[in-house]
Amino acid sequence: MSLGWGFVGNGGIAGTMAAALERSAGGRLVAVAARDAARGQAFADAHGGARVHSGPGAVARMLADPQVEAVYVATVHPQHHTAARAALLAGKPVLVEKPMTVSLAATRDLVDTARAQDVFLMEAYWTGLLPGTAAMLAVIASGAIGEVQAVRADLGFAVPADAQRFHDPALGGGSLLDLGPYPLGLALTLLGRPHELRAVGSLTATGVDRQVALSLGYADGAVASLATSMVGSSRSGAWVEGTRGSIEIDAPIFDMHRFTVRTTDGVENVQEHTVERGHHLMLDHVHECLARGRTESPVVGLQFSLDLAEQLEQVVEQIGITRAVEPLGATGPTTEGRR
């Protein structure tokens, strides 16, 4: 059976996901909610001719469509909460782009709503569903590099000055919200929730972050050193250090396409796990979860999203990043932070 998907948003990542959906046997695009009718129609025409709902009330009209059986939220970050919550209250399973929201309170609200409604909710951390990630976790579980003691990861590139999405708080600008879920997600996957997080960074004239550097400490003595940037091109790879060896993850870390295992006894093993446009594997996972009647992913679970949101919140507060926060129960985002 093919699941009917409704997309909220028709930007770049929505296009990537629509193409991925065409590769997934378990679903099809049936509707799109868009602000602009012409752009929404162009998007639908490019991806199988889905029905287009545009203008005020577009999301509500799409959710009322009985053929929409699941919802993917691909708006700018500050608008995730409103659309995802409406879908959950309508009883529709939801896959929402990362970060799930721009505040810990809003993420908690979505998780609480999903649990109260007994409806599936997952953050679109597609890296967690890649075969390269599974292979890396298998290497670590085998004991090949011993106990993991440190994770070092960065992700950054120079963003043009006129790239509004990256500079405007109302659009979820800054390197942290856009890139941070990848290095933070890797550390969270390997080391769990930190007991200490320290952040430094610099801000743009609009108050969003140019770049951030994070130091995390864990109860067992492990540490993580993470960074994101939209002003400089970083290595964009990662290094996992263990008591008996290490794993070097090639750039870009979100692809997890290649890593090298080196052990203290001189063994070196390179693993290739290249997957073209791996987002379809995430959709396959969601389809499987729904077929099994699950309301939560066993891989990218709701606690993962809560822990990630908590760490993002700490960074925002420590550096004073300006963000457009959607107060719970309000009709639209408001801006908070240093200006």
| Beta pairing class for 27-34 and 3-8 | parallel
What angle (nearest 5°) sits at the alpha carbon of residue 28, between those of residues 27 and 30?
135
DSSP string for 144-178: TT-SEEEEEEEEE-PPPTT-HHHH-GGGT-SHHHH
C-alpha angle 60/62/63, rounded to 5°?
65
What is the tens place of the pLDDT at every residue in 196-217? 999 999 999 999 999 999 999 9
- The pLDDT mean for the chain works out to 95
pLDDT at 277 over 90: no
Q: Is the pLDDT of residue 338 over 50?
A: no
Give me the mean pLDDT over the 41-57 stretch. 94
> Which pLDDT value is given to residue 333?
55
Angle between helices 131-141 and 181-191 (to 10 degrees): 30
- The answer to whether the beta carbons of residues 31 and 51 sit under 8 Å apart is yes
pLDDT of 162 above 90: no
d(CA 43, CA 15): 8
For residue 132 the two structure tokens come to 């390269």
Region 288-296: what's the mean pLDDT?
97
pLDDT at position 332, please? 54
What DSSP line would sit under 68-116, residue for residue? --EEEE-S-GGGHHHHHHHHHHTT--EEEPSSS-SSHHHHHHHHHHHHH
Question: Where in the sequence numbering do the catalytic residues fall?
Answer: 98
Contact 132, 256 (CB under 8 A): yes
> What is the tens place of the pLDDT at every residue in 226-271?
999 999 999 999 999 999 999 999 999 999 999 999 999 999 999 9
Q: What predicted TM-score, i.e. pTM, was given to this entire model?
A: 0.95
Residue pair 175/230 in contact (Cβ under 8 Å)? The answer is yes
Please give the order of strands across the beta sheet that includes 3-8.
51-54, 27-34, 3-8, 70-73, 94-96, 121-123
5-33 average pLDDT score? 95
Which whole number is the average pLDDT over 105-111? Answer: 97
| Contact call for residues 114 and 94 (beta carbons, < 8 A) | yes
**In this model, does residue 273 exceed pLDDT 90?**
yes
Q: In this model, does residue 335 exceed pLDDT 80?
A: no
Q: Given pLDDT bands bounded at 50, 70 and 90, which one contains residue 115? A: very high
Question: Rounded distance, CA 145 to CA 241, Å?
Answer: 8
